[in-house]
Amino acid sequence: MKVLRRAGVDVTFPADQTCCGQVGYNGGFEQEAREVALHFMDVFDGDEPVVVPSGSCASMIKIFYLDLFADDPVLLERAQRLSERTHEFSDFLVNVLEVENVGAAFSGTVTYHDACHLLRELHISAEPRALIEGVSGAELAEMTDSDRCCGFGGLFSVKFPEVSAAILGEKLENIEASGAEVVVANDCGCLMHMRGALSRKGMRQRAMHIAELLASQSGLAVGQPERPEA
């Protein structure tokens, strides 16, 4: 929110919003997912761009709503319009606002984890890296296999906890080997997952959402003229 406002965007937060419906959709519960998705479409009706801070939620809205409503021409058309105006956070900054430097400052080495849906559904990988490199003082250190899943997978993480934790273990090793103090990801699922194990293992690395990084110690003066975006 801070970052968007600093970039001059007039942001609103529709008060009735809850969930995009991905939990049910990925579990095979299409009917339940449809009801939740309909609620989302009602809440986010309109023409403004919708900015989503998590790659998998953004994929759900941009890609999987089209599947969910494929059999209903009216709803499908609504889903299509919503899909076009929905952007994942880093995509919105870099490709819509055309901003790569938001005036953030952070001292330390940062590694980036490619969240699966963001990378393979939305094909976004250069944008977050450009934003990290735009942070003054931050150094981007790529980890091995940054594009490999962290093992979260929603309900997968509780259905098969041993397997999920083993996949996560490899991710943590790669994070550690990168030498970075911070791992950035644009997906709340991956972040919760990585944070959970970093804290359990008492590791010194921190997991941060890209917005947290971009909001750090901003060098931008408060009260800069507002841009008439969004």
Query: Which residues here bind other proteins, judged by CB under 8 A?
Result: 1-2, 5-6, 12-13, 15-19, 21, 23-32, 35-36, 39, 67, 116-117, 120-121, 147-149, 151-168, 192-193, 195-197, 199-200, 222-223, 226
Rounded CA separation 152/150 (Å): 6
Query: Between residues 109 and 156, which has the closer beta carbon with respect to other proteins?
Result: 156
Task: Output 85 or 148, the one with its CB closest to other proteins.
Answer: 148
The DSSP secondary structure of 126-186, one letter per residue, reads HHHHHHHHTSEEEEE-PPTTTTS--S-TTTHHHHSHHHHHHHHHHHHHHHHHHT-SEEEES
Residue 73 C-beta: closest distance to other proteins, Å: 20
Q: How far is the CB of 139 from other proteins (least distance, A)?
A: 26
Please, which residue, 19 or 76, has the CB nearer to other proteins? Answer: 19
Q: How far is the CB of 36 from other proteins (least distance, A)?
A: 5
Give me the helix-helix angle, 188-200 and 161-178, nearest 10°.
80
Shortest Cβ 17–other proteins spacing (Å): 7
SS3 for 31? Answer: helix
Contact (Cβ atoms closer than 8 angstroms) between residue 147 and residue 176: no
Least distance to other proteins, CB of residue 217, Å: 13
Instruction: Give the whole-angstrom CA distance, residue 194 versus residue 187.
Output: 11
Query: How far from chain centre, in Å, is Cα 168?
Result: 18
Contact between residue 185 and residue 194 where contact means Cβ atoms under 8 Å apart: yes
Q: Which is nearer to other proteins, 182 or 197 (CB)?
A: 197
Q: Which is nearer to other proteins, 132 or 149 (CB)?
A: 149
